[in-house]
Amino acid sequence: MIPAQTVREIIDAVRIEEVIEDFVSLRKRGVNRIGLCPFHNEKTPSFNVNPTRNIFKCFGCGKGGDAITFLMEHESFTYPEALRWLARKYNIEIQEVEQSPEQRAEQQLADSLYIVNDFALEHFQTQLFDTDEGKSVALAYFKQRGIREDTIRSFGLGYAPNLPDLLLQRAKVVGHSPELLRKVGLSSQDGNRDFFRGRVMFPIHNLSGKVAAFAGRTMSSDKKIPKYINSPETEIYVKNKTLYGAFQSKKAIRQKDECILVEGYTDVISLHQAGIENVVASSGTSLTEGQLQLIKRNTNNLKILYDGDPAGVKAALRGLDLALEQDLNVKIVLLPEGEDPDSFVQQIGSEAFGEYISKEAKDFILFKTQLLLEETEGDPIRKAGLIKDIMGSIALIPDPIKRGLYLKECSSLMDVSEQVLHEETNKLINVALRKKADRDARQPGAATDAPSRTDNRPDVPEQEFVRFST
């Protein structure tokens, strides 16, 4: 905790133009400074910094505030992180208020896990670039997949040779405790063997760019070996609050005011390499609330790219209602049959790819309606089921105006009167409200109706999760 006195000291010391100039180049105009807004894409500057009032304001996208707001928005810092950053810049010493012993222990553990992951990151990179096996197996694989060396380096890709305990041995030499390697999931649970062996390695960063976990893709053609494995959940890695590429992509997502979601690590990497940088991957799992909130911190517009297999797409659509609840605008893009984002962008190039995804993007609800309508043609009972299904999605949208617009469109698509659809939706909304009221009445601590979780970790609030990354 930072004492209030120090917070005031920091705020008094801050000169906003000095802070913002660390990120944006500004020039003088009268008493103000102007520059190109880092929060939206623009060619003529509408981003204003007012040194007298110590605030900034963009007349293009409306973002504005003080230096702390700027850092929180621009760097995805939490409030304390922004304060610490400013304290360092202005040489203000922070005498932290005593943390509880548990908090301190937690923070120390998180710090040491990051250190061990950094060590592993370097180790995997050395294995990739500086060993014969790394070069002939892993580097050759990346090259064959069309990944350039600068991309390999910027994503921190590496290689874990097919040896039982090379990483453990190296860790021992430099003095990292085997217990920490076990805790962060880099060794087997009994601590005797490396967790990742014979795999190319993808570090998974948290939002501030620290390595929270790894994923490894096998170099073996043995079908019994899982293609990808991931670090287990740890104090610093909560899977359902992590998106691959979120760190590398956050700036572009904010500038484009859109997040493109793909499935695989190599999709993210390949699109980045092609200059399409507002991309993250959910790594196969269906989207969770935590992941959606991560997206929502930077944009309300989500574009999801699917490989063109209709069965797979239908299954995926079921998970998307969560995004509607979060009030995200969801668009779907189907890629041509047999293509994934990686193969497709390499085949047609970035410009054509960009055109394709903006041309083919379809609104999620209308897309779902059309897809299901085709299936229920001539079958009134199934069609009734479909209407309920779609209305269930629409009922989740918090904004009544948006809801109304969808009902209108769906009414004409499904050939059902708008009135009927309105009634159906209202019924569903009322049911949801009643359920929520019941739930609230049983608070606090009533967990009977809480959504079931696959793990038994306590809910880590977003703030807490980010705090580990200071």
Interface residues toward Zn ion, by CB under 5 A: 37, 39-40, 58, 60-61
Which lies closer to Zn ion via its Cβ, residue 19 or residue 268?
Answer: 19
CB of 277 to Zn ion, least distance (A): 18
Alpha-carbon dihedral angle through residues 141, 144, 148, 151, given to the nearest 10 degrees: -50
C-beta of 239 vs 251, nearer to Zn ion? 251
- Cβ 40 to Zn ion shortest distance, Å: 4
Minimum Å gap between C-beta 257 and Zn ion is 10
Q: How far apart are CA 118 and CA 107, in angstroms?
A: 17
Smallest separation, CB 74 to Zn ion (Å) = 11
Is residue 461 classed exposed, middle or buried when 0-12, 13-18 and 19+ CB atoms within 10 A define those classes?
exposed
The sheet with strand 199-205 has its strands ordered as 158-160, 199-205, 211-218, 228-230
The structure tokens listed for 434 are 């009643």
Residue 38 or 161: which CB sits closer to Zn ion? 38
Decide whether 37 or 243 has the Cβ nearer to Zn ion: 37
Q: What are the CA-CA distances from residue 138 to residues 87, 119, 134, 216, 336 (Å)?
A: 43, 19, 5, 11, 29
Least Å distance, CB 208 to Zn ion, is 23
Distance (Å, rounded) from C-alpha 152 to C-alpha 450?
Answer: 42
Q: Which is nearer to Zn ion, 128 or 253 (CB)?
A: 253
Pairing of strands 329-334, 259-262: unpaired
Give the containing element (helix H, strand E) for 97: none
Q: C-beta of 79: minimal distance to Zn ion in Å?
A: 22
Beta bridge partners of 229: 216
Q: Which is nearer to Zn ion, 62 or 445 (CB)?
A: 62
Minimum CB separation of residue 296 from Zn ion in Å reads 18
Considering beta carbons, is residue 7 or 58 the nearer one to Zn ion? Answer: 58
**How is residue 305 written in tokens?**
């790219």
Question: In the numeric block, which tokens belong to residue 302?
Answer: 């989500």
CA atoms within 13 A on the CB side of 272: 27
Instruction: List strand residue ranges (DSSP E) for 164-300, in order.
Output: 199-205, 211-218, 228-230, 259-262, 279-281
Residue number with CB closer to Zn ion (257 or 309)? 257
* Whole-angstrom distance, CA of residue 200 vs CA of residue 335: 27
**Distance between CA atoms of residues 203 and 212, nearest Å:** 8
Closest distance of CB 169 from Zn ion, Å: 51
Q: Smallest Cα–Cα separation from 342: which of 446, 267, 416, 234?
A: 267
Q: How far is the CB of 246 from Zn ion (least distance, A)?
A: 21
CA-CA distance, 379 to 356, in Å (whole number)?
34
Nearer to Zn ion, 61 or 92 (CB): 61
Please, which residue, 37 or 238, has the CB nearer to Zn ion? 37
To the nearest whole angstrom, how small is the minimum distance from the Cβ of residue 328 to Zn ion?
A: 20
